[in-house]
Structure 1
Amino acid sequence: MKIQWETAIVTETVGEPWSSHGLQEVRVRLGNGETAAALHDLAVGAPLRPGDEVLLNTTAVRLGLGTGGVHFVHTKLGRLAGSADGPEVPIEWEPETPDRLRSSESQEGHIMKLRYTSLQRAVLSVEEPSSPHHALFAELRTLGGMPVLIGELHSMLPAAVCWLRELAREAGAPVPRIAYIMTEGGALPLAVSGHVRRLRELGWLAGAVTYGHAYGGDVEAVNKYTALLAARYVLDADIAIVCMGPGIVGTGTPYGFSGIEAGELVGAVHTLGGAPVAMARISFADPRPQHRGLSRHTAVALGQAALAPACVPLPLLPAEAEAGLLREQVRQSGLARRHRLRWEAPPPLEQMAAALEAYGRPITSMGRAWPDDPAFFAAVCTAAGAAYRLLRNEGSDKP
């Protein structure tokens, strides 16, 4: 195991910290004259100022990685000689926490995340005795048939939320309460997610739950089971969306990818009496053979790792060659033996584009927006549509 350390000088701060327990973005100048962006964890140090000398973990950037590919400030070392000194002034920031959860903010938690590292931190986990929600978890509960959208990529989150809202608008119905559950398969700090920040700005999320070693949600949980229950009973969600934060680990091997957790999540939702709906990863713009058509990640996660059935909506693609390849891949994957497949007409492109446009920010997957990879977004929206119909009792996949 190797960590690459480098020192640098902070040259400027970028915007405001992302949350009161989140991250601060800064620009730094390294010893070789290179300038770059870096992230500073405000839970382990006061906000940085230009002129501060810092120790950076530059490992991921030096390896050229996409996942985790940014410099992280490990600690402040001092200040550059000649820099203007002054008192360290904490930045005041009002956490974007639902009012009904504020009563727990003053409580001290005893559950450690990032355990046995120099960055371990105590959080108030929703299940622990000092939590005001402890009684909810002191007895066995179920999800009561709540639809849960399960995805592999973080980019699926905003697309699914946009389409759920569009369907509610089209039906003239209230928008469902949507909770996001962030797994530990990608980024661990929720504050890294620009999509969560945007969805909170818009008021489109009932809240976010982080579990395992992921942290920073409105609600913290120990594992995927209690995270799902927290979404249902603490955040009063009608629908939950579960997927990792930004970044995914892959090795090009059949089982060596963090998105395999999607299959495990199907089992958790099923065990708790929810309605798992899988968002298949489909692309005809990805140049990598393992991700062309039905991604091998989806085929393995659902075809082998999932030990319980799920609803798997699949789009009827208009291009004959693409539709033929997708059907053959699905047949070879054996998904039909394990799950309830639904081949459905995808949303009209114009309507899908308008729904995504309402988000007000670009939504891309692997750098591609919907015009570049319409099959990807069609698959996500098709799955979201199936979950919405389950919520409105228009489907038959509830346990």
Structure 2
Amino acid sequence: MIRWRKGTVESIRREWPGAVELDVTIGGDGSHRALAYPRLVGRPEPGDTVLLNTTALAMGLGTGGYAMVVAIPDRLPPDPEGPGHLVKARYTPLQATVLGADEQDSPHHAVLREADSLEGAPVIVADLHSALPPILAGLLAARPGTRVVYVMPDGGALPAWFSMSIARLKDAGALAATVTAGQAFGGDLEAVTVHTGLLAARLVLDAEVIVLAQGPGNLGTGTTWGFSGVSAGEAINAAAVLSGRPVGSLRVSEGDLRERHIGVSHHSLTAYGRVALARAQIAVPELGGGFGARVAGEAAALGDRHELVPVPVDGLHETLREAEKEWGVRLSTMGRRLDEDLAYFLTAAAAGRHTATLL
């Protein structure tokens, strides 16, 4: 299940808040990229011996194709200090304690103890992590200065630190904060469930709009129910039961090589059409042409359960280009850049554009 190796740190490639990317030499297997989370294992330095999990390298994973630093055995970090009784990544070798916004020792416990309402705040739900930047681009172009908080559940990456997008969006002022919910960790606030994560985003972090999508590295099996994006339907239910205004962002592609994801992905049709029991607004992009007609036709299957909202996409291509340049965020989904799968990014941006009208 785990491929264990020892390596030697050659150099620091780059770093961003919460993560350090390294070059490591692994035995007689040459040099490879590795990733360390200093808050878990300490900060590696050139010359350090590191214990590595090389499973992702062996599998040739795209998003997470790193050797992961498990420990720096000759230089262990100090014990953590301060409060925090939530254990995340529970009963794994790297289980960690964090201070939950909703636990008794938290300064926010009194606010969240009886909290039961998002007070009508819009909650944009998407399948993939790559939808976060274009959603923000569409929203902030239509309503600059909107305070947006991202809630990251545990369907993809567990550490929020893995996402360079989060770090750069925060640095650029496009994203106010992140809440990590469930087994996910590393956000500005931690929460036990998606429900308390949403409440913390609204009541503690003062979100005007909440975006909820899994972290990088979603999982799919090509089966009807075996994909981590099922959680998008569950998030619609959570937002609705907490008196939020759920907005569904469709997963749409014109460039995916897999037929089940061309047009409106089966992930969206299943999550919104079968898992989501509460009513949401579904943003349907007006893409034009034959492909746009296909998307509208496939989205129509969701009309019995949800309110379908046609959204013009004029000007959004340039908006996305400008956001990518201004924020320093690489727009990419499944290895495809903006102009290689424009429909995907326009659709996510359309959900942001529509949400601006709800404020």
TM-score between the two structures when normalised by the length of structure 1 = 0.85
Distance 1:89 1:262, change over 3 A: closer
Query: Within the alignment, does 1:328 sit opposite 2:297 as a pair?
Result: yes
Q: SS where residue 166 of structure 2 aligns?
A: helix
Shift in Å at residue 6 of structure 1?
A: 1.5
Match of 1:31 among 22, 27, 34: 27
Deviation larger for 130-139 or 265-274: 130-139
Letter in 1 for 2:176: A
Per-residue CA distance 1:107-139 (angstroms, 9 max, x = gap): 501111111122111111011111111111221
Q: Matched residues in 2 for 1:377 and 1:201: separation? A: 21
Query: Within the alignment, does 1:181 sit opposite 2:181 as a pair?
Result: no
Contact 2:50 2:73 in 1 (8 A): yes
Match of 2:85 among 110, 118, 122: 110
Match of 1:15 in 2: 14
Which has the higher relative contact order, 1 or 2, with Cα contacts under 8 A spaced 6 or more apart? 2
Point out where structure 1 has 5 or more consecutive residues left out of the alignment.
79-87, 91-104, 170-174, 392-399
Q: SS where residue 371 of structure 1 aligns?
A: helix
Per-residue CA distance 1:362-394 (angstroms, 9 max, x = gap): 211122222222211111111111111011xxx
Match of 1:73 in 2: 69
Query: Within the alignment, does 1:139 sit opposite 2:114 as a pair?
Result: yes
Distance 1:7 1:89, change over 3 A: closer
Q: SS where residue 47 of structure 1 aligns?
A: coil
Match of 1:387 among 340, 355, 358: 355
Letter in 2 for 1:53: T
Larger Rg: 1
Query: Within the alignment, does 1:359 sit opposite 2:327 as a pair?
Result: yes
Query: Within the alignment, does 1:376 sit opposite 2:351 as a pair?
Result: no
Q: Matched residues in 2 for 1:197 and 1:143: separation? A: 25
Match of 2:192 in 1: 222
Q: SS where residue 195 of structure 1 aligns?
A: helix
Letter in 1 for 2:55: T
Letter in 2 for 1:252: G
Query: Within the alignment, does 1:287 sit opposite 2:257 as a pair?
Result: yes
State the Cα RMSD in Å: 2.0
Q: SS where residue 28 of structure 1 aligns?
A: strand
Distance 1:354 1:55, change over 3 A: closer
**Identity of matched residues, %:** 40
Shift in Å at residue 356 of structure 1?
A: 4.0
Alignment of 1:1-399 (within 5 A): 2-16=1-15, 18-19=16-17, 22-78=18-74, 107-169=82-144, 175-319=145-289, 321-331=290-300, 334-348=301-315, 349-391=317-359
